[in-house]
Amino acid sequence: MPADFKTIRYERPSEGVARIVLARPEMHNAQNPEMLYEINDAYYEAAMDDTVKVLVLAADGDNFSSGHDLAAPNWFECVPAGLWGGLEQPGAEGFFSLEHEVYLDMCWRWRNMPKPTIAAVQGKAIAGGLMLIWVCDLIVAAEDARFSDPVVAFGLNGHEYFVHPFEMGARKAKEMLFTAEAITAQEAEKLGMVNRVVPKADLEAEALALAERIARLPMMGLKMAKQSVNQALDAQGMWTTVQSAFSLHQLTHSHNMQVHGLPVEPSGIQFIKEQGRASR
């Protein structure tokens, strides 16, 4: 069993199935660096354990994840998992390196683990929360799930793992980004963004049953099926899209630094608060 995690749990709910559970419900599972590195360690654990065939990603509490924990300190106490380096360099060099290490590299590594992954989502999944879900192969959503990436309100182009057009189609991706509004589980199912919508009370059982069904199939077939679909997406330019959008994302951070002295547009916070009030 891996080291004691503080922000997640790593579980083995049944034969062939491992489950990562985000466990900061009091913070709506906001992702601090510690959580991102613990998720990364858990992915490694699941990848290297030959008795694990399918990985489920779930979350405690009412909301799957409110995104990155922007108030979190101590970025650099985590040992980098990638080779980008320069995380503490001043200016755009350090910022680019840091976001490459903790967001882009992590997401792309998780997306490319050959074993099948399933996200089980309830409540809100906002920006960085959506990144964790979109790297998974299958998505099971509770009826109350809401998906959004409102970071254009912060003067950014979208979150750091920019696969929106692949997940929702270009037109709906633009609508999500331009309006900063959430889409419902039902809309997401219609778009093919989630596989199935289930009553909230059944979410854990449904996701586990799906994982158990997949775990009955041969590992080699599963891995090559996953690779084949991912390669189809890559042939359509997914990785090129992610990298070029990440560069524009860094441009938006640099612009905000020059204009506002902050990596994000400050009025975005007020916008999101007002939007939250209106949608209640």
Q: Which residue is nearest to Zn ion (CB)?
A: 99
| DSSP helix/strand/coil, 79 | coil
User: Is the CB of 146 or the CB of 253 nearer to Zn ion?
Assistant: 253
Non-local (6+) Cβ contacts of 154 within 8 A are 256, 264, 265, 268, 269
CB of 92 to Zn ion, least distance (A): 12
Q: In the structure encoding, which two tokens stand for residue 136, read together? A: 């998974």
Scanning the structure block, which residue is given the tokens 């755009």?
A: 92
User: Is the CB of 23 or the CB of 102 nearer to Zn ion?
Assistant: 102
CB 20 within 8 A of CB 58: yes
CB of 97 to Zn ion, least distance (A): 12
User: Is the CB of 116 or the CB of 155 nearer to Zn ion?
Assistant: 155
Q: For residues 55-114, which are near Zn ion according to CB under 5 A?
A: 99
Which residue in 171, 60, 44 sits closest to 120, CA to CA? 60
- End-to-end CA distance of the chain: give it in Å, rounded: 42
CB 276 within 8 A of CB 180: no
Q: For residues 1-20, which are near Zn ion according to CB under 5 A?
A: none
Count helices and strands in the chain by DSSP H and E runs: 11, 9
| DSSP helix/strand/coil, 74 | coil
Q: What angle do CA 240, 243, 245 make, to 5 degrees?
A: 105
CB of 1 to Zn ion, least distance (A): 33
Which residue in 193, 152, 150, 148 sits closest to 169, CA to CA? 193
User: Is the CB of 155 or the CB of 165 nearer to Zn ion?
Assistant: 155
CB of 258 to Zn ion, least distance (A): 15
Q: At what angle do helices 91-99 and 238-260 cross, to 10 degrees?
A: 140
Binding-residue total with Zn ion (CB under 5 A): 1
Q: For residues 238-267, which are near Zn ion according to CB under 5 A?
A: none
CB of 253 to Zn ion, least distance (A): 6
User: Is the CB of 99 or the CB of 101 nearer to Zn ion?
Assistant: 99
CB of 161 to Zn ion, least distance (A): 10
CB of 222 to Zn ion, least distance (A): 33
User: Is the CB of 102 or the CB of 203 nearer to Zn ion?
Assistant: 102
User: Is the CB of 24 or the CB of 159 nearer to Zn ion?
Assistant: 159
Residues that bind Zn ion (CB under 5 A): 99
